[in-house]
Structure 1
Amino acid sequence: MATHDDRATTSRRTILGGALGAGALGLAGTGGALLAGAGPAAAHGTITTYSGINGARTVYEVNGALASWGYRPSFHDRLDSWLAFWNANTPSSWPDASRVWGYGAHTDHRVTEAHNNGRGFDLSRIYTGSTRRFTARYDQWRTLTGSDLALTRRRYWATSASAHHHFRNVLTYLYNSAHHNHIHIDNLVSGTGNSSFDSGSSAQVQHVQACCRYVWGLPTTIDGIWGSQTSSHSTRVLRAAGVTTGTITTQSRWLAFNRASMRKGYGTQSYPAP
């Protein structure tokens, strides 16, 4: 789970309710600097319990049970918006998301800044009806081969794009091994608005590079470093998506990159080759 800046360490429905048990985040890892010395009462404001996100019930990845977790209401609102966006940009033949699996949100037992404040969520799967459409369990699917690997990985990065559209801090399996079983998202930087791009953010650059490579089929090197190849390849993606000028370094183009990457990754829309 992330600190407020990863550099410091190296739309269709309504969320309903949840409280997190003491051990619920044990498998998810840390992946960010700790907010040392902050006691539970001083670290956050109101925490509200919800049983789901945008109408989809939440499920605890560890035991497969329906779960209710605590969130800051403004972060919960952003998760609502994110899942509505995911619903709107996946194939129209799919029903809306029915289950969102994860490792929880608020906890006072491990004082990472995002989770201690009820402003972080660890996502592991999304189902529509009884069909799993997305899994963040890289620890499980990385051994797949052929078309199974390609599809699972493409949907992983498409879902990452939906999260990056809404949240500044999104940590994937590329960030470190603590995130091999989930994608961490939080709004410590982006707050109540959509995300923007920072070429100095290794997590955001990794995401851009992985989308270019695994969603758009470009031979992009994945190293987390913004350089001429990443700039060129991401600009080629923008052109394929119909953005005729500029690069992803402005917010509107960054959001366009993520929306197109999500839609292409899920096969919702066809685009010319970049």
Structure 2
Amino acid sequence: MLAAVATAGGLIFVPSAAAWATQAAPEPPAEPLPHHDVTQVTPEELVPPDGLDPGGCGSTVWPHNEILGFPTPYEGDGKQRNFSYDDTFYSRVETWFQFFRANTPIAVGPPFEIWCWGVFVDKGDCGDSFHKVGRAFDISRIYATDPATGIKSQVFNSRHDIWKSWTGSAFTTANRQYWTTAASLNYHFQHMLTYPWRADHDNHIHFDNGVSGSGNSSFNRASAQIFSAQATLNAIWGEALVVDGSWGPKSIAAAGRALGRIGVSGTLDTQSNWLAFNRASLRFGSGTQTY
């Protein structure tokens, strides 16, 4: 079910909690890290040398098969697996999921499942990938349970390679859930890669703490954040931007309108505004709150 919300630009349709279910783009901005193709990762490459710590490249990683006690199945086969994390990164992932739970509707409840393609990945050499040191996560899906019915349902699906061909409300819901969840990740992880950034992210969202470390993120006008900010403004805030990775006057104005609706002045360039925007996008997109 959709609820109509009046805005200065007309009506925006917001899903209820129960329903929370052509222009050439320029070259994307340079990113500091290469990325592996998740479809080419084998289960064996998810296991550090000797099975435990230390991980490759001087890191120390520890195995976990859960996040906040909830299982993390492997997208490749749906089976429960251990994934190996740097301690600080694992703490940040748990902090993110606590934030996600706190700002989504009560109908989105435990038990959860958080599916992924991998954390630590051993591709044979160190390179510059944070997967090699257990500080990156390739998320694919989130399932949640309605406490009133006990029914488990999907509340996030990063498999754009699957749902991009859907139409009508099925596409709208999947797209909105994608960018709602992406906003929650943008709050915590400065380096976060989505499908508009590059085609090899069509089946997952990559995030790592290589830039933001143990803290929250800030906005960078010369990063892949631009793609997700533009798409979030479209999918959640009713804008009609070209998602091209260029933060120009139209994008700045659209962000200003969203900030104004949540009671904040200025631009996304201050960390407080960037965090407020992403928190509100999570709450608005999931149906927790209207603005």
| TM more than 0.5 | yes
Matched, 1:269 2:289: yes
Larger Rg: 2
Deviates more, 1:182-191 or 1:46-55: 46-55
User: TM-score, normalised to structure 2's length?
Assistant: 0.79
The verdict on how the C-alpha distance between 1:71 and 1:8 changes in structure 2, with shifts beyond 3 A counting, is closer
Structure 1 residue 44, shift from structure 2 partner: 3.4
* Secondary structure at 1:61 match in 2: coil
Q: Is the 8 A contact 1:22 1:109 kept in 2?
A: no
* Counterpart in the other structure of 2:141: 125
Q: Which amino acid aligns with 1:46?
A: T
Matched, 1:232 2:253: yes
* Secondary structure at 1:213 match in 2: helix
Q: Is the 8 A contact 1:87 1:97 kept in 2?
A: no
Percentage of pairs with the same residue: 40
* Counterpart in the other structure of 2:181: 159
* Counterpart in the other structure of 1:216: 237
* Secondary structure at 1:170 match in 2: strand
* Counterpart in the other structure of 1:249: 269
Q: Is the 8 A contact 1:70 1:106 kept in 2?
A: yes
* Secondary structure at 1:133 match in 2: strand
Q: Over aligned residues, Cα RMSD in angstroms?
A: 2.0
Q: Distance in 2 between matches of 1:186 and 1:133?
A: 22
Q: Distance in 1 between matches of 2:102 and 2:55?
A: 38
1:207 to 228, 233, 245: 228
Deviation string 1:157-177 (CA, Å, 9 cap, x unpaired) is 010000000001100011111
4+ residue runs over 6 A deviation: none
Gaps of 5+ in 2: 1-28, 35-41, 48-53, 146-151
Structure 1 residue 8, shift from structure 2 partner: 3.9
Q: Which amino acid aligns with 2:214?
A: T
Structure 1 residue 96, shift from structure 2 partner: 3.3
Q: Which amino acid aligns with 1:198?
A: N
Q: Is the 8 A contact 2:180 2:285 kept in 1?
A: yes
Gaps of 5+ in 1: 11-19, 26-39
* Counterpart in the other structure of 1:35: none
Q: Which amino acid aligns with 2:228?
A: H
